[in-house]
C-alpha cells in the first residue's frame, strides 16, 4: 500500500520533470528553426520555480478547485497510460477510460474560468471545447479501428500485440490511421496550427488569463504532464511501446519534436477552420482506414 | 545594498531563480513599443536571458513603460501595476518617463514616472535602441540578484504617499482592496 | 469628374460664398456664412462630397472668433474641400451636423473637449479624450500651458540645479 503510493508519487513527479524537459528542448529547437539561440533547455524548470516563489491571488473557491481539478485530472490520466515498463493498471477498457479522463483536465480549466469571471478566459475555454469536438471525432474513429484490429481495448494489450518486431507496429499495419492520429495529437496537445484556445496575442492566453503565481505554475505542470501522457499514448498505440524506458523516451521525444517542428512553421487556424479541417480530410481518411481494416 | 538579504541564503536562491526567469508585460505607449519586436526576435533574441513576453498582468514580473504617459493612460498603468503579483519590477523607457522628454511642457503628460509608481530602472535615450534595452535587462537582473530591485516593497510601504501623488494628477484613483 | 476650376464655378453659381481659394492641386477652401453652413454642407454632400474627414477648429483670439473647418473629400472629383466658418468666441455655440454625418458627433465632442464650443442638438457632450478636466479648455489661446504645468506637475530636480 505504502509502496503503491510511493510509486504513484514517483511516477507523477518524474512525469512532471520529463514533461518540463521536453518543453525546454522544444523551445530550444524552435528557437534554432527561427535562427535564434533560444533559452537554455532547463528554462521551464526555472519558470515553474519562479512562479512558486511569487505571490498569487485567488478568485474564490471554484477557481482553486478548477486549478486542482485540471492538475489532478491529468495526473490521474497518467496512471492509466503505460510508460515503458511502468504499467500501473492493465485491465480491459483503459483506452476508452483515458479518452474520457483527458476531458477532465479541460473541464477543470473551464471551472477555473467560471471562477475567475474573465470574459477572455470564457472565450478561450469555449474555443478549447469546440476544438475538442473537432479532433476527437477522427481520433475516436482511428481508436475504434485499432481496437477492432488488435481485438482488445486495453492499452497494454495493444502494446503487447506489437511486440514481435518493427513490422508488427500499428504504424505499418494502419498507416493512414497513424497519420490521422498524429494530426489529432497536434490538436490534443494544442500545438501551433491548432492553438486558437490559448492565442496570447488575441485573447491574452485564453483560459489562464487570470492565473498568476502558483496557479500558473500548476497549469504549467499540468501542461508538462499532458505532454508526457499524450506522446506516451501515441507511442503505445502506434509505435510499439517499449520494454526499455530509454527507448520509450526516445520514441516519445521523436513524436514531440515532430509536433514542435510542425508547430514552428505553421500559423494558427481559426477555431471554426480547425474544426472544419478535422471533419473533412482526417475524418474521411480515418473512415477509409476503418473500411480497409474491417473488410 | 540591503543588509537584510545578505544573511538570508534562502532569499538568495529565490532571487537567483527570479533573475533567471522574467515574464515581461509591455504597456505599449509612445514610440518604445517598436523597439521591442527586434529585441524579442531573431536579431537580438532576449529569450536567451530567460526573458519572455507574458500576456496578462497576473502572469508578468516586469512592467515596461515604453514612452510618454498622458494622465489618462497613467490611470490604466496604475491599475495594471496593482493587478500584478509581488515581486514585480518596473522599467521606464526613454527620456519621456524620466523628465517628460519632448513633452516637457505638455499640459497632459506626466513628467516623472517614479512619483506615481516605483521605477526600478530607467533606460536613457529617445528611444533606446535594442542594445540599450538588453543592457537594461542585464542591469535589472543584477539588481534583482543583489536584492536592490525592491520597488514593490517601497510601493507597499509608502502606499499613501504614492496615492497622494496619483490623486494630485488624476483627481480620483481607485484604491486596492 | 470635375476639375478644380469647374468645381469653383459650380460653387460660385449655387452657393453664397464669402471667399474661395485654390490652395494647391486638388485642394480648395471656401468660406461660408454661419447660417448657410448646414445647407451648404448638405448641398456638397449631394454633390459627391460624401466623406467628412474631420472637423477642426482654430482660436483667433485677436479677432475674438473661433474658426470651424469641415474637411470634406469627394471620391469622384478626388478633391479635398475645406469649408470654413467663423463664430463668435464669447458665445462659442454652433449647430450640430450629426444628422448629415453620424460620425460628426464624436468630432464635435472632441472640439468641445479642447475648445469648449457647444453644439446645439448634440446633447452628449461628455469628455471624450480628457479626463476630469476642470480648467478652461486647453487648446484655447488664453490657456497658460506653462503655468498649468508648473502647478500640476513637479519638475525633476537634478544635482547642482538651482
Question: Could you tell me if A65 and A111 are in contact, meaning their C-beta atoms sit under 8 angstroms apart?
Answer: yes
Half-sphere exposure of A161 (CA within 13 A, CB side): 20
In a domain, B177, yes or no: no
In a domain, C159, yes or no: no
DSSP state for residue C98 in the 8-state scheme: T
Q: Is C142 on the interface with B (CB under 8 A)?
A: no
Overall average pLDDT of the A103-118 stretch: 83
Least confident piece of the model among A39-43, A243-247, A264-268, B158-162: A243-247
Q: What is the pLDDT of residues A156-213, one digit of tens each?
A: 878 877 777 777 777 777 888 888 888 888 888 888 788 877 777 777 777 888 888 8
Question: Cβ B41–A212 below 8 Å, yes or no?
Answer: no
Question: Could you tell me if B5 and B15 are in contact, meaning their C-beta atoms sit under 8 angstroms apart?
Answer: yes
Distance (Å, whole) CA C98 – CA C122 = 7
Question: Cβ B105–C146 below 8 Å, yes or no?
Answer: yes
Q: Is C1 on the interface with B (CB under 8 A)?
A: no
Chain B touching partners, 3 or more CB pairs below 8 A: A, C
Distances in Å between the alpha carbon of B24 and those of A4, B27, B48, B147?
42, 10, 14, 19
Chain B segment 108-127 residues within 8 A of C by beta carbon are 108, 110-112, 115
CB-CB neighbors (< 8 A) of B85 in chain A: 54-57, 212-213
Chain A residues near any Cβ of chain B (below 8 Å):
27, 31, 34-40, 43, 46-47, 49-50, 53-57, 200-201, 204-205, 208-213, 216
CB-CB neighbors (< 8 A) of B17 in chain A: 46, 49-50, 53
Q: Which range has highest mean pLDDT (A148-162, B97-111, C48-62, C148-162)?
A: C48-62
Question: Cβ B41–A56 below 8 Å, yes or no?
Answer: no
Distance (Å, whole) CA A221 – CA A19 = 8
Q: What is the pLDDT of residues C27-85, one digit of tens each?
A: 888 888 888 888 888 888 888 888 999 999 998 988 888 999 999 998 988 889 899 99
Question: Could you tell me if C29 and C84 are in contact, meaning their C-beta atoms sit under 8 angstroms apart?
Answer: yes
Pairing of strands B89-93, B51-53: unpaired
Question: Cβ B17–A49 below 8 Å, yes or no?
Answer: yes
Nearest CB to C155 within list B108, B111, B171 = B111
* pLDDT at residue C71, as a whole number: 92
Is residue B165 over pLDDT 60? Answer: yes
Nearest CB to C156 within list B108, B111, B170 = B111
Contacts 24+ apart (CB under 8 A), C14-22: C14/C43, C15/C40, C15/C43
Task: Tell me whether the omega of the peptide bond preceding residue B127 falls within 30 degrees of 0, making it cis.
Answer: yes
In a domain, B88, yes or no: yes
With b meaning 16 or more CB within 10 Å and e meaning fewer, what string describes A80-105? bbbbbebbeeeeeebbebbeebbebb
> In terms of Cα–Cα distance, which of A189, A194, A207, A179 is closest to A273?
A194
* pLDDT at residue A280, as a whole number: 87
Question: Could you tell me if B33 and B60 are in contact, meaning their C-beta atoms sit under 8 angstroms apart?
Answer: no
* Touching pair B, A by Cβ (3+ pairs < 8 Å): yes
In a domain, C161, yes or no: no
All residues at 6 or more sequence positions from C121 whose CB lies less than 8 Å from its CB, including other chains: C95, C96, C98, C99
Burial of A179 (0-12, 13-18, 19+ CB in 10 A): middle
DSSP chain A: -HHHHHHHHHHHHHHHHHHHHHHHHHHHHHHHHTT-----TTHHHHHHHHHHHS------HHHHHHHHHHHHHHHHHHHHS-BTTB-S---TTHHHHHHHHHHHHHHHHHHHHHHH--HHHHHHHHHHHHHHHHHHHHHHHHHHHHHHHHT---HHHHHHHTTT-GGGSHHHHSHHHHHHHHHHHHHHHT-GGG-GGG-HHHHTTGGGTT--THHHHHHHHHHHHHHHHHHHHHHHHHS---SSHHHHHHHHHHHHHHHHHHHHH--PPPHHHHHHHHHHHHHHHHHHHHHHHH-
Q: Is C25 on the interface with B (CB under 8 A)?
A: no
Q: What angle do CA C8, C10, C14 make, to 5 degrees?
A: 120
Nearest CB to B17 within list A27, A53, A213 = A53
In a domain, B176, yes or no: no
Overall average pLDDT of the A2-17 stretch: 82
The alpha-carbon gap from B18 to the nearest alpha carbon of chain C, in Å, equals 32
Question: Cβ B170–C131 below 8 Å, yes or no?
Answer: yes
Distance (Å, whole) CA B78 – CA A40 = 34
Q: Which residue of B has its CA nearest to A47?
A: B21
DSSP state for residue B101 in the 8-state scheme: G
* pLDDT at residue B7, as a whole number: 56
**What stretches of chain B show up as alpha helix (H) in DSSP?**
3-6, 9-20, 36-40, 71-83, 94-99, 130-146, 151-157, 159-170
Residue B145: phi, psi to the nearest 5? Answer: -65, -40
Structural domain total, chain C? 1
Is residue B1 over pLDDT 60? Answer: no
Distances in Å between the alpha carbon of A168 and those of A93, A152, A174, A237?
22, 16, 10, 12
In a domain, B175, yes or no: no
Least confident piece of the model among B173-177, C87-91, C101-105: B173-177
Domain parsing of chain A, residue ranges? 2-294
Nearest CB to B55 within list A47, A57, A200 = A200
In a domain, C17, yes or no: yes
Nearest CB to B107 within list C131, C149, C155 = C149
B interface mutation test: which of A50, A123, A198, A210 has the most B CBs within 10 A?
Answer: A50
In a domain, C134, yes or no: yes
Distance (Å, whole) CA A85 – CA A88 = 10
Q: What is the mean pLDDT of chain B?
A: 84
Looking at per-residue confidence, does A162 or B78 come out higher? B78
In a domain, C77, yes or no: yes
- How confident is residue B177, by pLDDT bands cut at 50, 70 and 90? low
CATH code, B59: 3.40.50.12280
Q: What angle do CA B73, B79, B85 make, to 5 degrees?
A: 135
Least confident piece of the model among A48-57, A85-94, C86-95, C120-129: A85-94
In a domain, C162, yes or no: no
Overall average pLDDT of the A251-255 stretch: 89
A interface mutation test: which of B5, B27, B55 has the most A CBs within 10 A?
Answer: B55
Q: How many CB atoms lie within 10 A of CB C60?
A: 12
CB-CB neighbors (< 8 A) of B42 in chain A: 34-36
Question: Cβ A46–B14 below 8 Å, yes or no?
Answer: no
Q: What is the mean pLDDT of chain C?
A: 86
- How confident is residue C153, by pLDDT bands cut at 50, 70 and 90? confident
In a domain, B140, yes or no: yes
Distance (Å, whole) CA B151 – CA B149 = 6
* pLDDT at residue A272, as a whole number: 85
Chain B segment 42-71 residues within 8 A of A by beta carbon are 42, 45, 47-48, 50, 52-53, 55-56, 58-59, 61
> In terms of Cα–Cα distance, which of C110, C140, C143, C152 is closest to B109?
C152
Question: Cβ A54–B87 below 8 Å, yes or no?
Answer: yes
Distance (Å, whole) CA B81 – CA B113 = 13
Nearest CB to C132 within list B106, B107, B171 = B171
Give the residue numbers spanning the domain of B92.
3-170
Distances in Å between the alpha carbon of B161 and those of B48, B117, C153?
38, 10, 15
Question: Could you tell me if A213 and A51 are in contact, meaning their C-beta atoms sit under 8 angstroms apart?
Answer: yes
In a domain, C158, yes or no: no
Give the residue numbers spanning the domain of C27.
4-152
B41: left (phi over 0), alpha (psi -120 to 50) or beta: beta
Q: What is the pLDDT of residues A113-149, one digit of tens each?
A: 888 888 888 888 888 888 888 888 898 888 888 888 8
Amino acid at each position: 500500500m505504502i509502496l503503491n503510493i510511493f510509486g504513484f508519487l514517483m511516477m507523477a513527479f518524474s512525469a512532471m520533470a520529463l514533461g518540463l524537459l521536453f518543453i525546454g528542448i522544444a523551445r530550444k529547437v524552435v528557437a534554432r528553426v527561427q535562427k535564434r539561440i533560444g533559452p537554455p533547455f532547463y528554462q521551464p524548470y526555472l519558470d515553474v520555480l519562479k512562479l512558486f516563489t511569487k505571490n498569487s491571488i485567488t478568485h474564490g473557491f471554484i477557481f482553486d478547485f478548477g486549478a486542482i481539478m485540471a492538475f489532478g485530472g491529468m495526473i490521474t490520466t497518467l496512471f492509466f497510460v503505460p510508460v515503458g515498463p511502468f504499467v500501473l493498471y492493465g485491465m480491459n477498457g483503459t483506452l476508452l477510460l483515458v479518452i474520457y479522463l483527458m476531458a477532465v483536465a479541460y473541464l477543470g480549466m473551464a471551472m477555473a474560468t467560471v471562477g475567475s469571471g474573465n470574459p477572455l478566459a470564457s472565450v478561450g475555454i469555449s474555443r478549447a471545447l469546440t476544438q475538442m469536438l473537432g479532433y476527437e471525432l477522427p481520433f475516436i474513429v482511428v481508436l475504434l479501428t485499432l481496437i477492432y484490429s488488435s481485438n482488445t481495448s486495453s492499452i497494454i494489450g495493444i502494446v503487447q500485440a506489437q511486440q514481435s518486431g518493427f513490422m508488427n507496429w500499428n504504424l505499418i499495419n494502419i498507416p493512414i490511421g497513424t497519420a490521422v492520429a498524429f494530426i489529432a495529437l497536434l490538436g490534443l496537445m494544442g500545438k501551433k496550427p491548432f492553438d486558437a484556445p490559448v492565442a496570447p496575442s488575441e485573447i491574452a492566453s485564453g483560459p489562464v488569463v487570470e492565473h498568476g503565481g502558483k496557479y500558473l505554475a500548476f497549469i504549467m505542470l499540468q501542461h508538462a504532464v499532458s505532454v508526457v501522457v499524450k506522446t506516451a499514448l501515441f507511442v503505445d498505440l502506434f509505435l510499439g511501446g517499449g520494454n526499455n524506458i530509454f527507448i520509450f523516451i526516445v520514441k516519445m521525444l521523436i513524436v514531440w519534436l515532430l509536433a514542435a517542428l510542425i508547430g514552428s512553421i505553421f500559423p494558427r487556424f481559426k477555431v471554426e477552420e480547425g474544426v472544419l479541417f478535422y471533419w473533412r480530410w482526417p475524418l474521411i481518411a480515418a473512415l477509409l482506414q476503418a473500411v480497409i481494416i474491417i473488410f | 545594498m540591503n543588509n537584510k538579504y545578505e544573511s538570508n541564503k534562502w532569499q538568495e536562491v529565490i532571487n537567483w531563480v527570479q533573475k533567471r526567469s522574467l515574464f515581461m508585460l509591455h504597456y505599449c505607449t509612445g514610440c518604445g513599443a517598436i523597439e521591442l519586436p527586434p529585441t524579442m526576435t531573431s536579431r537580438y533574441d532576449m529569450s536567451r536571458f530567460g526573458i519572455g513576453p507574458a500576456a496578462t498582468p497576473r502572469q508578468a514580473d516586469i512592467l515596461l513603460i515604453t514612452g510618454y504617459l498622458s494622465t489618462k493612460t497613467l490611470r490604466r498603468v496604475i491599475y495594471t501595476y496593482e493587478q500584478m503579483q509581488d515581486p514585480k519590477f518596473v522599467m521606464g523607457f526613454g527620456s519621456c518617463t524620466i523628465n517628460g522628454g519632448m513633452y516637457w511642457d505638455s499640459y497632459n503628460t506626466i513628467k516623472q514616472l517614479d512619483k506615481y509608481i516605483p521605477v526600478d530602472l530607467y533606460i536613457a535615450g529617445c528611444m533606446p535602441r535594442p542594445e540599450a534595452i538588453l543592457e537594461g535587462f542585464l542591469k535589472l537582473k543584477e539588481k534583482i540578484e543583489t536584492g536592490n530591485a525592491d520597488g514593490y516593497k517601497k510601493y507597499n510601504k509608502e502606499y499613501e504617499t504614492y496615492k497622494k501623488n496619483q490623486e494630485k494628477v488624476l483627481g480620483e484613483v481607485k484604491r486596492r482592496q | 469628374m470635375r476639375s478644380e476650376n469647374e468645381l469653383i464655378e459650380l460653387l460660385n453659381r449655387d452657393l453664397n460664398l464669402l471667399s474661395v481659394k485654390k490652395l494647391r492641386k486638388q485642394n480648395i477652401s471656401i468660406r461660408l456664412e454661419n447660417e448657410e453652413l448646414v445647407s451648404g454642407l448638405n448641398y456638397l454632400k449631394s454633390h459627391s462630397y460624401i466623406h467628412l474627414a474631420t472637423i477642426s477648429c482654430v482660436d483667433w483670439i485677436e479677432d475674438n472668433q473661433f474658426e470651424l473647418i469641415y474637411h470634406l473629400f469627394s471620391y469622384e472629383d478626388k478633391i479635398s474641400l475645406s469649408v470654413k466658418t467663423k463664430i463668435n468666441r464669447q458665445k462659442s455655440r454652433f449647430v450640430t451636423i450629426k444628422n448629415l454625418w453620424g460620425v460628426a458627433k464624436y468630432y464635435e465632442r472632441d472640439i468641445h473637449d479642447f475648445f469648449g464650443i457647444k453644439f446645439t442638438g448634440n446633447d452628449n457632450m461628455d469628455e471624450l479624450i480628457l479626463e476630469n478636466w476642470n480648467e478652461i479648455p486647453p487648446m484655447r489661446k488664453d490657456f497658460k500651458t506653462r503655468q498649468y504645468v508648473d502647478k500640476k506637475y513637479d519638475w525633476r530636480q537634478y544635482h547642482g540645479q538651482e
